[in-house]
Amino acid sequence: MTTTERKIRMALDFIRRRDLERIDTHPKYGSALREWRSQIDTLGVTARPDVPPTWRITDLPVASYLPRGRMRVQIYLDDRARACRKDQPDRQWVRHIHGEIIASDSDAIIISNKADEYGITPNKAKGLNDYIGRKIYYIMMFPSPDQYRDLLVENGLLGTGNCVKLHLLDEFDQIVGRTLGFRYRPGSEVIVIMPARLWRQIGLTLLTESNYDAHVIAEHPW
């Protein structure tokens, strides 16, 4: 199985550890598992109880193999990257960002993780190579209440507290990877637009854990 998503890898590792614990304590199969491990040790292969040799996760960070210039992502902070509020009709929101970008470039590619009427959704963009060598605007906003609820359920099921962070990080890397990384061609460019409050919560994660080289820019990018 090949995946770029950290949350999926975490879930698979959780399943592996849970199933091993169940087998290890099983009255019939637990002894067979322990015997198998001892045989592997005898053959000279390191086999720790928490990492059996038949299950391996190989991490191939793209940033280790490509020039830094192909990994650069521009981050522009704009507090209008938010949903509409019916109780605040005069408040500017993602529609206004979308309108400004289209006014400056009618063929602009805009991906939005919530407001699909103001851009392509990440699910529609996933797996596509249509954006190779293109300029992409990615409007990154907080998860919707329903999505946030589901991520909290995943936290409970997996016994962790970082599903929201990993979801945003995985989505960021997937969208950016539509045109950067090994898909980079002359003309490739990614501008991520997000509210300052979201950057304060996810910025450190993007700077330290993303496959890509994030830089905050101050100049208006369209």
Query: What is the model's pLDDT at position 72?
Result: 95
**Which class would CATH give 62-217?**
alpha beta
**Which tokens go with 196?**
């300052």
Query: What is the model's pLDDT at position 160?
Result: 93
Which residues of the chain register pLDDT less than 70? 1, 37, 39-57, 61-63, 115-116
Q: Which regions of the chain carry the CATH code 3.40.50? A: 62-217
Q: Mention every residue, 6+ apart, whose C-beta is less than 8 A from residue 111.
A: 119, 120, 121, 122, 125, 136, 137, 138, 139, 175, 178
Query: What is the model's pLDDT at position 119?
Result: 79
Query: What is the model's pLDDT at position 122?
Result: 85
Summarize pLDDT for 47-90 with one digit per residue, the tens.
455 555 556 667 776 667 788 889 999 999 999 999 888 888 88
3-state SS of the chain is CCCCCHHHHHHHHHHHHHHHHHHHCCCCCHHHHHHHHHHHHHCCCCCECCECCCCCCCCCCHHHCCCHHHCEEEEEECCCCCCCCCCCCCCCCHHHHHHHHHHHCCCCEEEECCCHHHCECHHHHCCCCCCCCCEEEEECCCCCHHHHHHHHHHHHHHCCCCHHHHHHHHHHHHHHCCCCHHHCCCCCEEEEEECHHHHHHHHHHHHHHCCCEEEEECCCCC
